[in-house]
Amino acid sequence: MKRLENIPNPINMDKKEVLDLLLKEEYGYLPSSPYAVEASEENRDEGFFGGKAILSKMKLHFKAEWGNSEFTFYYVRPKRIKEPVPAFIHINFRDLIPDKYQPTEEIIDAGYAIFTIYYNDVTTDNGDFTNGIAGVLYPDGTRKPDQCGKIGLWAWSASAVMDYVQTLPEIRKDRVSVIGHSRLGKTALLAGATDERFFCAISNDSGNSGAALSRITTGEKIRDITRSFPYWFCENYRKYIDKENELPFDQNYLIAANVPHKVYVASAVGDGWACPDAEYLSCVAASEYYVKNGLKGFEHPDRLPEIGDVFHNGDIAYHMRDFGHALNRTDWNHYIDYLNSCK
Ligand code: GTR
C-alpha cells in the first residue's frame, strides 16, 4: 500500500536484531529473567460466580540475579476442569475482578482461565523508580539510557507470571496468551516480543509506541507520549521527538518481533488518538516478515479498515469495532473466537 513506502522493513534481519533495536532505542533492556519463582495463595473464593469458578489472590515471589521481590496477581479458573484449559495473562488497570476491561464470567464460560496482574502492583505508573520491582532493579531510582522504563517492567512481570503458569497441570501451557489495553497493549506486544512462550500477544487499542506506525499516525506522536509518559520508555527514545523519520525502525518491528507466535491487533473506530489506520497498516507492514519466518501473514483486503472488519485468517489477526477507546466485551469475544479457531 502506498502509505507504507517510507516504512522500514525488517525483512533481512533476524528476530534478535529486530528486538535488540526496539529495546536499545525505545523500551530499554528488560532485567534478566528470574531464576526461581514461587507463588503463595493469599486467599481463595471457591464460590465465585455461584461456585462455577475459583478466585485466588496470589503472590508471586521471585529470585533474580538483581534481587528478590514479589507482587500480587489474581487467578480465576473454571471449577470443573477435566482437561487442561487455555488461559490469558491480562495486565490490567485496576485491582478488580471482574472489571469493566475483564468480563471474567464470560471468559470462564468460554473455557479459559485468567491470570490478572494489576500493573501498579508491579511498579507504579509514574516516574518514581523507587517502588515495586523498579526499586529493586534501580536501587538509587536512576537508570542508564538503555535500561527499561515502566512498560518493560510490566512486560517482565507477565513473563514472571508465565514462569509460574508453566508449572500448573490444569493449564494448557502452549495456549497462554498475553493481553492488555492501551499502554498495557503496548506492554502485551513487548511481552510477546521478549517471550516466545506466549501463544498470542493481544494488543487492544495500543496506539502510539504500540501497534501504530509512528511515521504515519495522525494521532499521538512521540513528542506527546514522551512529554506525558517519559518513564514508560528508555531515555534513548527521546532522541526521536519530532524525528519519526529518523527512527531506525517503526512499530511494525514490534509486531514482527512477535514471531514465532501469533499477534492480534485491535482498533476502535472512535479512537483517533491511537490511529486505527496506523495500527492496521503496521500489521500489513509486518506481514512479509511473518511469512518469511514460516508463519501465515496478515490476510486483509486491499483497503483501509472499516467498522466491523474481523480478519482472523492469518497469524497476524485484526479487528476494528465501533465506539471508542476501551477493552470491551466485543473485543474479548473476537479474541476468544480467534484463539478457538486456531489449530
Ligand atoms: C494516553 C496515552 C496513550 C495510551 C493511553 C492509555 O494518554 O497517550 O498512548 O497509552 O493513555 O494507556 O490509556
User: What percent of the chain has pLDDT above 70?
Assistant: 100
Beta strand 200-204 with 113-118 is unpaired
Summarize pLDDT for 180-200 with one digit per residue, the tens.
999 999 999 999 999 999 999
Is the C-beta atom of 208 inside 6 A of ligand 1? yes
Ligand 1 pocket mutation pick from 125, 126, 182 by most atoms within 8 angstroms of CB: 182
Is the C-beta atom of 225 inside 6 A of ligand 1? yes
How many Å lie between the centroid of ligand 1 and the Cα of residue 35? Answer: 33
Is residue 184 within 8 Å of residue 67, measured between CB atoms? no
Model pLDDT, residue 234: 98
Q: Mean pLDDT, to the nearest integer, of 59-79?
A: 98
Beta strand 85-92 with 316-321 is unpaired
Residue (of 80, 153, 147, 79) closest to 117 by Cα position:
153
Position 52 confidence tier, pLDDT thresholds 50, 70, 90: very high
8: its cell numbers: 522500514
Summarize pLDDT for 142-167 with one digit per residue, the tens.
999 999 999 999 999 999 999 999 99
144: its cell numbers: 542508564
Summarize pLDDT for 129-142 with one digit per residue, the tens.
999 999 999 999 99
Is the C-beta atom of 188 inside 6 A of ligand 1? no
Is residue 86 within 8 Å of residue 179, measured between CB atoms? no
How many beta carbons lie within 10 A of that of residue 110, not counting itself?
A: 18
Instruction: Indicate the angle between helix axes 183-194 and 150-165, nearest 10 degrees.
Output: 60
Question: How far apart are alpha carbons 118 and 233 in whole angstroms?
Answer: 19
Segment (H or E) for 222: helix 222-228
Neighbouring-strand partners of residue 179: 90, 202
Cell 501469533 belongs to residue: 262
Residues contacting residue 8 through CB under 8 Å, at least 6 positions apart? 247, 248, 249, 250, 252, 253
Question: How far apart are alpha carbons 132 and 122 in whole angstroms?
Answer: 5
Summarize pLDDT for 39-51 with one digit per residue, the tens.
999 999 999 999 9
Please determine, for residue 81, whether its predicted confidence score (pLDDT) is greater than 90: no
Summarize pLDDT for 223-271 with one digit per residue, the tens.
999 999 999 999 999 999 999 999 999 999 999 999 999 999 999 999 9
Cell 513506502 belongs to residue: 5
Is residue 171 within 8 Å of residue 135, measured between CB atoms? no
Please determine, for residue 67, whether its predicted confidence score (pLDDT) is greater than 90: yes
Summarize pLDDT for 27-41 with one digit per residue, the tens.
999 999 999 999 999
Name which of 79-83, 97-101, 108-112 the model is least confident about: 79-83
**Count of residues making up the chain:** 343
Model pLDDT, residue 191: 99
Is the C-beta atom of 181 inside 6 A of ligand 1? no
Please determine, for residue 3, whether its predicted confidence score (pLDDT) is greater than 90: no
Sheet holding 262-268, edge to edge: 36-48, 53-64, 67-78, 113-118, 85-92, 171-181, 200-204, 262-268, 316-321, 310-311
Please determine, for residue 1, whether its predicted confidence score (pLDDT) is greater than 90: no
Is residue 289 within 8 Å of residue 144, measured between CB atoms? no
Position 322 confidence tier, pLDDT thresholds 50, 70, 90: very high
Is the C-beta atom of 77 inside 6 A of ligand 1? no
Mean pLDDT for all residues in the chain: 98
Neighbouring-strand partners of residue 85: 171
Please determine, for residue 117, whether its predicted confidence score (pLDDT) is greater than 80: yes
How many Å lie between the centroid of ligand 1 and the Cα of residue 108? Answer: 28
Nearest CA to ligand 1 atom 10: 183
User: What percent of the chain has pLDDT above 90?
Assistant: 99
Ligand 1 pocket mutation pick from 220, 221, 325 by most atoms within 8 angstroms of CB: 220
Neighbouring-strand partners of residue 56: 44, 75
Please determine, for residue 103, whether its predicted confidence score (pLDDT) is greater than 90: yes
